[in-house]
Amino acid sequence: MKRFLLPLLVISLSFMPQKKTRVIFFGDSITQAAVNAGGYIVRIDSMCKKEGMGDKFEFIGAGISGNKVYDLYLRMEDDVLAKNPDVVIIYIGVNDVWHKASSGTGTDADKFERFYNAILKKLKERNIKVIMCTPAVIGEKTDFSNQQDGDMNAYSNIIRSIAQKNGLPLVDLRRAFLEYDSKNNPENKDRGILTTDRVHLNAMGNQLVADAMWSVIKGK
Amino acid sequence: MKRFLLPLLVISLSFMPQKKTRVIFFGDSITQAAVNAGGYIVRIDSMCKKEGMGDKFEFIGAGISGNKVYDLYLRMEDDVLAKNPDVVIIYIGVNDVWHKASSGTGTDADKFERFYNAILKKLKERNIKVIMCTPAVIGEKTDFSNQQDGDMNAYSNIIRSIAQKNGLPLVDLRRAFLEYDSKNNPENKDRGILTTDRVHLNAMGNQLVADAMWSVIKGK
Amino acid sequence: MKRFLLPLLVISLSFMPQKKTRVIFFGDSITQAAVNAGGYIVRIDSMCKKEGMGDKFEFIGAGISGNKVYDLYLRMEDDVLAKNPDVVIIYIGVNDVWHKASSGTGTDADKFERFYNAILKKLKERNIKVIMCTPAVIGEKTDFSNQQDGDMNAYSNIIRSIAQKNGLPLVDLRRAFLEYDSKNNPENKDRGILTTDRVHLNAMGNQLVADAMWSVIKGK
Amino acid sequence: MKRFLLPLLVISLSFMPQKKTRVIFFGDSITQAAVNAGGYIVRIDSMCKKEGMGDKFEFIGAGISGNKVYDLYLRMEDDVLAKNPDVVIIYIGVNDVWHKASSGTGTDADKFERFYNAILKKLKERNIKVIMCTPAVIGEKTDFSNQQDGDMNAYSNIIRSIAQKNGLPLVDLRRAFLEYDSKNNPENKDRGILTTDRVHLNAMGNQLVADAMWSVIKGK
């Protein structure tokens, strides 16, 4: 009898629906817009299917406009943990820097780090894989003369350092955007290359983010 | 045999150390300083003992300089819940308002409310009693010409509204300070009546806070 | 011969075109909008003509959006002195306060006072009469819970003090707006009573400003 | 008799004290400190004398702590024009950028440019030679991660552009500091290489500024 068991098991497995890897994109308005047509999450989903991995991944957007790192921390129970993701991609930081100038309600660097680490701790406790991202740009000028360039570099350094300390994969969007702009923005414009308005992504920006993220996600 | 049990039990109870009501003061630098000599927590402890309730209450300071409402939320597990308090007095808001102007890192009103409610939810889940406070002053001028007066009133209104909605006792320090200053600051000075530096409490300020809090605490 | 001179002189004078009192309104976007239909300068002009003084006054708007006190100082040669006014009404201060929070580029109180005095000095040197105004409102809530209420009161106090020291007439718009709102804003709304957007004037606001200014102007 | 006059005149001229070139340093606290021992103006004076040009130049400090470009404009009559300088070195911009974050009272870029041009116009009308400087640093980190690096670069670009349009000599302190720090700050520290506190000059910083300025001044 035992001889017959193995073939049967193999057959039954091949018909069982595979459990998909659930990926949550956790961020601000840039991520909120990414589930719309042309958005980077939609693009990742398309690439995934095109590469024949549509049955292996499931993508969920969890971006809310105006969010800073502490807003992610506050809503992570409801918007992330409750959904039992396998992977969470954290893409935050623009508002933490930007709101200092625009409304006086940015996030101090030391607290940015503290809340980021608190988010990681909770995800780790649940054995959820994490992919970290640096915030891309507030302004696309290539000579570091965008008002927030100093802070954008500083907060990106914080994120790089956290990723390294925790051995976590990093999608270094800031580096990628700076490199792309340095080659493709000869007129030193502040928008229009990868963003529509200095911050939010145009088609090319969404594709760049999708490419960078997907290459890391599919390794998970 | 049963007849003897009750008297024995009563006797043993009367010798058992009574479980003290543990009160945690949860706040910023004003509360951090309150455990020092002359501080409002020390004064409350003295009043408590003087009134013969030293065996009924236990007071713990949990103030950290620079804290805003979201900092309280972040550290409430370690600094409050882990200590199993019976009562938590929340005294926060000055930095949420002040840091807008001093470093561009204040807290938006809607997020102030959201984090405050999140703190209350966690305390309620643990059946911990809550006493709320409005932030007192940033500047003691009595004609509402201190730079942050508008926001201090606005954030105090938020706190009052939350207290009312949740049926929680409120120590309205802002109202108490405004009333005291209106009577005792005829020269319209910005400090020196209840504060040393427009924000942190002098002896009179500490006493006023202690009196206001103690009258509510001892009812718990 | 001399007896005939006086009657002739009187007759000739009565036919000579009277030199109009030239009044320049010097301010920010509120004043810039005041030359449009329904604006307070248009309303003053109408009242002036209605009261039969159309040949006695000439009104010129000199408001530019975003202006602070130092912007007035910078452009006063071209926009005020070059036009040889008899009277200048200075209505400034909203952006000096507001831009602290909205872009980090407000005006420190001590510098506000210094530039204001520098403007007055130049006008005095040219014997130009000055009417000063306090800035009205940033938000119409009546319980001093508009974010900038503290600073609006503080900068109004500075203006009141300058007016008093220099014996200059003051149109205290802030006081007038606060009084009007206290009676006509029972719901404690932040706009819609005298402003459209917390700052810029609706019809009622323009009329209130026009009334307050005109009663002082016609005494000049 | 007339024959003897000319030789006598020549002789007397050769003993007449030569009219010195009067140089005014017009700036903020960095320039205010530059007249103290070790300050860059004192160093320039020493170098000047050492090179035997002590009878050709006269140096006057006109720096006031906290000054922004519009403060220079306000006090230029009293502190510069009234002293009849031959050369004015304008060294401004740090506070225009810095105060955005530290007190919400920085200077918008467009207004920075406008006031700078207004200062130049007044100096040109008086045929006073001008030497312009870019602001050096707020923080000495070399990876453009100092909070204000973006704005420091932006406002330096404005100054460079104004200098070029007006054909004025530029002491590009920002470039010089960035180059020096890139070679001498391997640990990416935020202070201690050319500044004591991220902004104000230490001995090396004062010497660097003195060298850069003196090489341009002595050409005047």
Convert C177-207 into a string of H (helix), E (strand) and C (coil).
HHHHHHHHCCCCCCCCCCECCCCCECHHHHH
What's the token pair of residue B32?
Answer: 């951090």
pLDDT at D185 over 50: yes
- Sequence-distant (≥ 6) Cβ neighbours of residue B67 within 8 angstroms: B27, B28, B29, B92, B95
What's the pLDDT tens digit per position in A110-123? 999 999 999 999 99
What's the token pair of residue D60?
Answer: 């006057």
Lay out the sheet containing C57-63: strands in order across: C57-63, C21-27, C87-91, C129-133, C170-171
pLDDT at B110 over 80: yes
pLDDT at C8 over 80: no
Distance from CA of B83 to the nearest CA of A (A): 20
What's the pLDDT tens digit per position in B151-179? 999 999 999 999 999 999 999 999 999 99
What count of other Cβ atoms lies within 10 Å of the Cβ of residue B58? 16
pLDDT at A1 over 60: no
- Sequence-distant (≥ 6) Cβ neighbours of residue C220 within 8 angstroms: C21, C23, C86, C87, C129, C131
Cα(A125)–Cα(D184) distance, rounded to whole angstroms? 44
Q: Residues of B with CB below 8 A from D101's CB?
A: 103-104
Q: What is the pLDDT of residue C17?
A: 61
Q: Residues of A with CB below 8 A from D147's CB?
A: 150-151, 154
Residues 114-143 of B with CB under 8 A from A: 114-115, 118
> What distance, in Å, lies between the first and last C-alpha atoms of chain B?
39
Q: DSSP labels for D140-173?
A: --SSS-STTHHHHHHHHHHHHHHHHHHT--EE-H
What's the token pair of residue A210?
Answer: 């999708």
Cα(A200)–Cα(A85) distance, rounded to whole angstroms? 26
High-pLDDT (> 90) share of chain D, %? 90
DSSP D26: E
What's the pLDDT tens digit per position in B26-73? 999 999 999 999 999 999 999 999 999 999 999 999 999 999 999 999
Q: Which residues pair with A201 in a beta bridge?
A: A195
The answer to whether D104 contacts chain B (CB < 8 Å) is yes
Question: Is there a contact between A104 and C103 if contact means CB atoms under 8 Å apart?
Answer: no
Question: Is there a contact between B101 and D104 if contact means CB atoms under 8 Å apart?
Answer: yes
Mark out the alpha helices in C59-202 (DSSP H runs). 69-79, 94-102, 109-125, 149-166, 173-184
Cα(A142)–Cα(A177) distance, rounded to whole angstroms? 10
Cα(B28)–Cα(B22) distance, rounded to whole angstroms? 19
**Chain B interface disruption, residue of C110, C145, C199, most B CBs within 10 A:** C145
Query: What value does the mean pLDDT take over residues D181-191?
Result: 98
Q: What is the pLDDT of residue A16?
A: 58
> What distance, in Å, lies between the first and last C-alpha atoms of chain C?
37
Cα(B136)–Cα(B172) distance, rounded to whole angstroms? 8
- Sequence-distant (≥ 6) Cβ neighbours of residue A119 within 8 angstroms: A69, A72, A73, A76, A90
* Dihedral, D74, D75, D77, D78 alpha carbons, nearest 10: 150
Question: Is there a contact between B143 and C153 if contact means CB atoms under 8 Å apart?
Answer: yes
Contacts made by residues C188-194, CB under 8 angstroms, sequence distance 24+: C188/C141, C188/C142, C188/C143, C189/C140, C189/C141, C190/C139, C190/C140, C190/C141, C190/C146, C191/C139, C191/C140, C192/C140, C193/C140, C194/C136, C194/C137, C194/C140
How many residues make up chain D in this entry? 220
High-pLDDT (> 70) share of chain A, %? 92
Query: What is the chain B residue with the closest CA to D106?
Result: B101
What's the token pair of residue A18?
Answer: 């595979």
Query: What value does the mean pLDDT take over residues D144-150?
Result: 98
Query: What value does the mean pLDDT take over residues A31-57?
Result: 97
Cα(B11)–Cα(C216) distance, rounded to whole angstroms? 86
What mean pLDDT, rounded, does chain B reach? 94
Q: Kindly tell me the burial class for residue C28, based on how many C-beta atoms sit within 10 Å of its own C-beta (0-12, 13-18, 19 or more).
A: buried
Q: Residues of D with CB below 8 A from C73's CB?
A: 70, 73-74
Query: What is the chain A residue with the closest CA to C147?
Result: A103
> What distance, in Å, lies between the first and last C-alpha atoms of chain D?
41
Question: Is there a contact between D103 and B101 if contact means CB atoms under 8 Å apart?
Answer: yes
What's the pLDDT tens digit per position in D54-113? 999 999 999 999 999 999 999 999 999 999 999 999 999 999 999 999 999 999 999 999
Q: Residues of A with CB below 8 A from C105's CB?
A: none
Q: What is the pLDDT of residue D1?
A: 44
Q: Is A75 left (phi over 0), alpha (psi -120 to 50) or beta?
A: alpha
The answer to whether D65 contacts chain B (CB < 8 Å) is no
Pairing of strands D87-91, C170-171: unpaired
Q: Residues of A with CB below 8 A from B101's CB?
A: 104
Distance from CA of C168 to the nearest CA of D (A): 23
pLDDT at C7 over 80: no
What is the interface size between B and C, counted as CB pairs within 8 Å?
47
pLDDT at A192 over 90: yes
Q: What is the pLDDT of residue C1?
A: 44
pLDDT at B107 over 60: yes
ipTM of this model?
A: 0.90
- Which stretch of DSSP H or E encloses residue D212? helix D203-217
Query: What value does the mean pLDDT take over residues C116-145?
Result: 98
Contacts made by residues D36-41, CB under 8 angstroms, sequence distance 24+: D38/D203, D38/D206, D39/D201, D39/D206, D40/D201, D40/D206, D40/D207, D40/D209, D40/D210, D40/D213, D41/D210
**Chain B interface disruption, residue of D98, D102, D147, D148, most B CBs within 10 A:** D102
Which residue bears the tokens 């390794």? Answer: A219
Q: Residues of B with CB below 8 A from C145's CB?
A: 150, 153-154, 157
Query: What is the chain B residue with the closest CA to C97?
Result: B147
Question: Is there a contact between C104 and A103 if contact means CB atoms under 8 Å apart?
Answer: no
What is the interface size between A and C, counted as CB pairs within 8 Å?
10
pLDDT at A4 over 80: no
Q: By C-alpha distance, which of D180, D186, D177 is closest to D138?
A: D177
Cα(D197)–Cα(D195) distance, rounded to whole angstroms? 6
Q: Residues of B with CB below 8 A from C158's CB?
A: none
Q: By C-alpha distance, which of C35, C38, C28, C25 is closest to C204?
A: C38
**Chain C interface disruption, residue of B107, B147, B161, B174, most C CBs within 10 A:** B147
Question: Is there a contact between C148 and B144 if contact means CB atoms under 8 Å apart?
Answer: no
Are the C-beta atoms of residues A213 and A176 closer than 8 Å to each other? no
Per-residue confidence at C220, pLDDT binned at 50, 70, 90?
confident
Distance from CA of C118 to the nearest CA of A (A): 30
Buried b (16+ CB within 10 A) or exposed e, B19-45: eebbbbbbbbbbbbbbbeeebbbbbbb
**Chain A interface disruption, residue of C100, C102, C148, C151, most A CBs within 10 A:** C102
Cα(C11)–Cα(C50) distance, rounded to whole angstroms? 26
What count of other Cβ atoms lies within 10 Å of the Cβ of residue B118? 19
- Which stretch of DSSP H or E encloses residue B13? helix B2-15
Q: Residues of B with CB below 8 A from A71's CB?
A: 111
Are the C-beta atoms of residues B192 and B202 closer than 8 Å to each other? yes
Question: Is there a contact between C144 and B157 if contact means CB atoms under 8 Å apart?
Answer: no
Per-residue confidence at B1, pLDDT binned at 50, 70, 90?
very low
What's the token pair of residue A31?
Answer: 């991520």
The answer to whether C148 contacts chain B (CB < 8 Å) is yes
- Cα diameter, chain C: 75
What mean pLDDT, rounded, does chain A reach? 94
Cα D88 to Cα A181, B6, C4, D129, D168, distances in angstroms: 39, 98, 65, 6, 11
The answer to whether B101 contacts chain D (CB < 8 Å) is yes
DSSP B130: E
What's the token pair of residue D204?
Answer: 């090396």
A9 or C200, which is more confident: C200
**Chain B interface disruption, residue of A111, A148, A151, A155, most B CBs within 10 A:** A111
Question: Is there a contact between A73 and B71 if contact means CB atoms under 8 Å apart?
Answer: no
Cα(D213)–Cα(D192) distance, rounded to whole angstroms? 22
Using CB atoms, pick whichever of C100, C139, C149 lies closest to residue B144.
C149
Buried b (16+ CB within 10 A) or exposed e, A64-89: bebbbbbbbbbbbeebbbeeebbbbb
What's the pLDDT tens digit per position in C29-43? 999 999 999 999 999
What's the token pair of residue C77?
Answer: 């040669």
Q: Residues of A with CB below 8 A from C102's CB?
A: 102-103
**Chain A interface disruption, residue of D99, D153, D159, most A CBs within 10 A:** D153
Q: Residues of A with CB below 8 A from B114's CB?
A: 74
Question: Is there a contact between B150 and C154 if contact means CB atoms under 8 Å apart?
Answer: no
Distance from CA of A103 to the nearest CA of C (A): 5
**Reduced to 3 DSSP states, what percent helix, strand and coil does chain A have, rounded to the nearest 5?**
55, 15, 35
